[in-house]
């Protein structure tokens, strides 16, 4: 039996349970931006493998550091024990994070990082003896698949079966004007808000929806005046994606928590962090165990994941990586101009290394049928692009070459021509 046939027999893939779903493609190798299937066909990974990959696949520097770490220490419980890779990673990261982010709590994926920030926010107010428990979030946000993260996310086809089980979150309108500011003011007036969670500057899974730092600053400032804790979910936006180390660097106001994952390990191993201020950490110190944050995962602080993250940061710290981020940004702006007038295209937008636009179709949203037509077309052309419903976006590893970007853009144009027929 081939890998493809065995896969069909055993594996339950995300999002592909419909009877019409095509078979999964066996991938045998990744190198730079290219993925190779079992027949030697290559695909440009123009979505950085679900937004995780920064420096390309199987990068020799990350591979070497991971192998070295595997040889000396693969895993230990991260309670009562510590190790150099975890401490070194925190030290390295603190040079790039907003100055108020001082404490680091490890977990293994973005949803857990969000879950932890939400739980910490709720317990923070309990430890302080204040009755605040309500969470605010943004319409159309996405924060992950676990119940807390789903509760904070916008209601969608992903949450539909579970809506009755989610805790109540007040969702503010997408921050495009005064409406969200007014909505926030009226929520704050009720007086019981614990925390406000948001994806800074770009809502990813919600359709690469972009908004300005100015309006987010306004929202955070209002929250701060009221003591509400602000949680920046930088799982997607972190590590250079929006043109700065973190999207929050583009703000005047700094959040109380940050959630990091995806690019944290360079996209190589599952790893996440919830970072916070010393003031929050201090509220969990006490003589009574119930004051502590009683939360831990088996693979918390995994040394190999940390080694991968350190190696990835070393690459990110190089000038050539930032030159590449700038270059991709410039190329995206050029392509945005090229497609702006296209009859099927609207809402062209660019932020850092992310380019996105909407296709004018009757059926919008994630379930829009256009996504499968385009996905299949792109794959046949040797380009991995996964439209979010009627939203096409490009979010590549930073090592993508100009030639590869040309091919990605050309493939998008040919996809537009195909659906225009």
The CB-of-118 to ligand PLP minimum distance in angstroms stands at 12
Query: What CA–CA distance (Å, rounded) separates 206 from 396?
Result: 18
SS3 of residue 281 by DSSP: helix
Residue 142 vs 393, nearer CB to ligand PLP: 142
- Is 109 among the residues that bind ligand PLP (CB under 6 A)? yes
Burial class for 187, CB neighbours closer than 10 Å (0-12, 13-18, 19+): buried
- Is 205 among the residues that bind ligand PLP (CB under 6 A)? yes
Q: Are 419 and 379 in contact (CB under 8 A)?
A: no
- Is 299 among the residues that bind ligand PLP (CB under 6 A)? no
Q: Which residue is nearest to ligand PLP (CB)?
A: 110
The CB-of-93 to ligand PLP minimum distance in angstroms stands at 18
Residues binding ligand PLP: number (CB under 6 A):
15
- Is 110 among the residues that bind ligand PLP (CB under 6 A)? yes
- Is 235 among the residues that bind ligand PLP (CB under 6 A)? yes
- Is 236 among the residues that bind ligand PLP (CB under 6 A)? yes
List 45, 199, 256, 404, residue binding ligand PLP (CB under 6 A) = 199
Q: How far is CA 127 from the centre of its chain?
A: 30
Query: What CA–CA distance (Å, rounded) separates 266 from 19?
Result: 34
DSSP codes of every residue in 338-402: HHTT-TTEEEEEEETTEEEEEE--SS-STT-THHHHHHHHHHHTTEE---BTTEEEE---TT--H
Residue 187 vs 233, nearer CB to ligand PLP: 233
Residue 98 vs 270, nearer CB to ligand PLP: 270
The CB-of-26 to ligand PLP minimum distance in angstroms stands at 23
The CB-of-272 to ligand PLP minimum distance in angstroms stands at 7
Residue 89 vs 264, nearer CB to ligand PLP: 264
- Is 47 among the residues that bind ligand PLP (CB under 6 A)? no
In sequence order, the 6+-apart residues with CB closer than 8 A to the CB of 259 are 110, 113, 114, 116, 117, 143, 231, 232, 233, 234, 235, 272, 273, 274
List 144, 301, 305, 396, residue binding ligand PLP (CB under 6 A) = 144
Number of residues in the chain:
421
Residue identified by tokens 């590449």 is 324
Q: What is the H or E stretch that residue 277 is in?
A: none
Stretch of residues binding ligand PLP (CB under 6 A), selected from 105-113, 154-162, 224-232, 323-331: 105-113
The CB-of-261 to ligand PLP minimum distance in angstroms stands at 5
- Is 106 among the residues that bind ligand PLP (CB under 6 A)? no
- Is 143 among the residues that bind ligand PLP (CB under 6 A)? yes
In the range 215-234, which residues lie near ligand PLP by CB under 6 A? 233
27-31, strands of its sheet edge to edge: 27-31, 34-37, 42-45, 383-384
Estimate the crossing angle of helix 402-420 against helix 370-380, to 10 degrees: 130
In sequence order, the 6+-apart residues with CB closer than 8 A to the CB of 206 are 140, 141, 142, 154, 199
- Is 101 among the residues that bind ligand PLP (CB under 6 A)? no
Query: What CA–CA distance (Å, rounded) separates 387 from 363?
Result: 13
- Is 55 among the residues that bind ligand PLP (CB under 6 A)? no
- Please count the other Cβ atoms lying within 10 Å of the Cβ belonging to residue 224: 16
The CB-of-97 to ligand PLP minimum distance in angstroms stands at 17
Contacting residues toward ligand PLP, per CB under 6 A: 109-111, 114, 142-145, 199, 204-205, 233, 235-236, 261
């Amino acid at each position: 039996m081939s890998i493809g046939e065995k896969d069909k027999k055993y594996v339950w893939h995300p999002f592909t349970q419909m009877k019409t779903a095509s078979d999964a493609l066996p991938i045998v190798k990744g190198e730079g931006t290219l993925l190779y299937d079992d027949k030697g066909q290559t695909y440009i990974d123009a979505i950085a493998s679900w937004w995780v990959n920064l420096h390309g696949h199987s990068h020799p520097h990350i591979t070497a550091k991971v192998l070295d770490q595997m040889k000396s220490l693969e895993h230990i419980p991260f309670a009562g024990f510590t190790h150099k890779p975890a401490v070194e990673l925190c030290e390295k990261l603190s040079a790039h994070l907003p100055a108020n982010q001082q404490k680091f709590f490890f977990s293994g994926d973005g949803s857990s990082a969000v879950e932890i920030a939400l739980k910490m926010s709720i317990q923070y107010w309990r430890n302080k003896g204040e009755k605040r428990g309500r969470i605010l979030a943004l319409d159309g946000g996405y924060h992950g698949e676990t119940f807390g993260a789903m509760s904070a996310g916008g209601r969608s086809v992903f949450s539909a079966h579970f809506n009755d089980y989610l805790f109540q979150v007040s969702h503010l309108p997408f921050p495009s004007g005064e409406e969200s500011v007014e909505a926030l003011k009226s929520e704050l007036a009720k007086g019981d808000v614990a925390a406000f969670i948001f994806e800074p500057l770009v809502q990813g899974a919600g359709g690469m929806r972009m908004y300005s730092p100015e309006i987010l600053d306004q929202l955070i400032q209002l929250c701060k005046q009221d003591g509400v804790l602000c949680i920046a979910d930088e799982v997607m936006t972190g590590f250079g994606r929006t043109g700065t180390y973190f999207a929050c660097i583009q703000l005047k106001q700094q959040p109380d928590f940050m959630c990091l994952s995806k690019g944290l390990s360079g996209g190589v191993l599952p790893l996440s962090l919830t970072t916070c201020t010393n003031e929050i950490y201090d509220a969990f110190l006490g003589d009574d165990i119930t004051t502590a944050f009683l939360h831990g995962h088996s693979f918390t602080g995994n040394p190999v994941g940390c080694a991968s993250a350190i190696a990835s940061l070393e690459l990110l710290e190089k000038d050539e990586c930032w030159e590449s981020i700038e270059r991709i940004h410039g190329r995206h702006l050029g392509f945005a101009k090229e497609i702006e007038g296209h009859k099927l295209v609207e809402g062209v937008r660019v932020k850092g290394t992310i380019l996105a636009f909407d296709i004018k179709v009757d059926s919008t949203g994630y379930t829009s049928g256009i996504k499968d037509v385009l996905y299949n077309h792109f794959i046949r052309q040797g380009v991995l692009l996964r439209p979010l419903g009627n939203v096409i976006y490009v979010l590549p590893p930073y090592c993508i070459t100009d030639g590869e970007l040309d091919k990605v853009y050309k493939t998008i144009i040919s996809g537009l021509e195909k659906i225009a027929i």
